Amino acid sequence: MEARKERMLSEHLAARGIRDAAVMKAMREVPREAFLPSGMELFAYDDGPLPIAEGQTISQPYIVAYMVEALELLGGERVLEIGTGSGYAAAVLSRCAAQVYTVERIPFLAAGARARLEVLGYDNVTVHLGDGTLGWEEHAPYDAIVVTAGAPEVPRELLDQLAPLGRLVIPVGPTQHLQELVRVRRTREGKIRQEQLCPVRFVPLIGEHGW
């Protein structure tokens, strides 16, 4: 398993441009196999997404690293993740930020991720069951927000919950399965700046301000 993980780090992440040392350290530390359905552990460090349950997926390791790097975390941030899924990306985020709040709409996945994160000791992650297109007002504002499902547009509520100088990384696209990853920044004056990062393919963001 360790050799497979080292190959992932060098061939799938470093060779494709992941440079943030904290992100690389987190990708080395978090055991992706612990977030997979049993029987799939052998595929944990392959270069692709994998099915979890309820028709959902755990994202490709490279995409997880790319999205976390795109958030430009320094370690002291409060981060909101929409789309907990297995809890893997939340665990990676928890190594790169101070506090992680993560929202999942499917009860079975939220419960599984909560239990897994607790057993593994990721005690700066809080899992919430709900519609993440509404954000999680209770703990706002967030220094960084990451959405791990594809949205038709950037949900207004997420922009409202982004702190000044905050970054929001989200797949946005005109169809449910093809998107462009975009990064939105809130300036010190509160203005919104958006940049396109790369084409991606995520499961759809389902909810009041999603599909």
Q: Could you list the residues that contact ligand SAM (CB under 6 A)? A: 56-59, 82-83, 85-86, 88-89, 103-106, 109, 131-133, 148-149, 202-203, 205-207, 210
Question: Among residues 184 and 200, whose Cβ is nearest to ligand SAM?
Answer: 200
Least Cβ distance, residue 37 to ligand SAM (angstroms): 11
Tokens of 211: 């599909």
Q: Determine the Cα–Cα distance for residues 109 and 118; give it in Å rounded to an integer.
A: 14
Residue 57 · residue 148 · CB < 8 Å: no
Question: Among residues 77 and 104, whose Cβ is nearest to ligand SAM?
Answer: 104
Q: Determine the Cα–Cα distance for residues 76 and 79; give it in Å rounded to an integer.
A: 10
Least Cβ distance, residue 187 to ligand SAM (angstroms): 27
Q: Determine the Cα–Cα distance for residues 142 and 81; give it in Å rounded to an integer.
A: 10
| Cα–Cα nearest to 158, from 172, 174, 146 | 146
Least Cβ distance, residue 139 to ligand SAM (angstroms): 15
Question: Among residues 152 and 190, whose Cβ is nearest to ligand SAM?
Answer: 152
Question: Among residues 32 and 78, whose Cβ is nearest to ligand SAM?
Answer: 32
Least Cβ distance, residue 72 to ligand SAM (angstroms): 19
In the structure, how many helices (H) and strands (E) does the chain have?
6, 9
Helix-helix angle 61-70:21-29, to 10 degrees: 140
Q: Determine the Cα–Cα distance for residues 23 and 69; give it in Å rounded to an integer.
A: 6
Q: Are strands 50-51 and 57-58 parallel, antiparallel or unpaired?
A: antiparallel
Active site members: 59
